[in-house]
Amino acid sequence: MWRREKALAALYDELRIIEVFDRVHDYCTNADPAENRAYEARQVRRAKITAEIQKLNQTKAAKQTR
């Protein structure tokens, strides 16, 4: 149980960090190609994190119904 909670906390922290970098990217006036690629990579990672969070939350729900 603690492992799942620690994993969720780490995923939410990483998601917050990605949101900060995305906000900086949104305010950037002259984004170069490297910054755009980093933004795209963060979006891919964001999708993976969201999927992992959903998977862990479904595991919690399944355990609670038992």
Condensed to tens digits (0 to 9), the pLDDT of residues 15-59 reads 999 999 999 999 988 878 999 999 999 999 999 999 999 999 987
Q: How far apart are CA 49 and CA 66, in angstroms?
A: 26
Instruction: Provide the residue ranges of all domains of the chain, joining segments of one domain with +.
Output: 2-65
Band the pLDDT of 1: cuts 50, 70, 90.
low
**For residues 5 and 29, what is the distance between their CA atoms, to the nearest angstrom?**
39
Q: What is the pLDDT of residue 29?
A: 85
CA 7 to CA 54: how far, in whole Å? 12
Tell me which residue has tokens 């170069």.
Answer: 32
Cβ atoms 53, 16 nearer than 8 A? no
User: Encoding tokens for residue 48?
Assistant: 């993976």
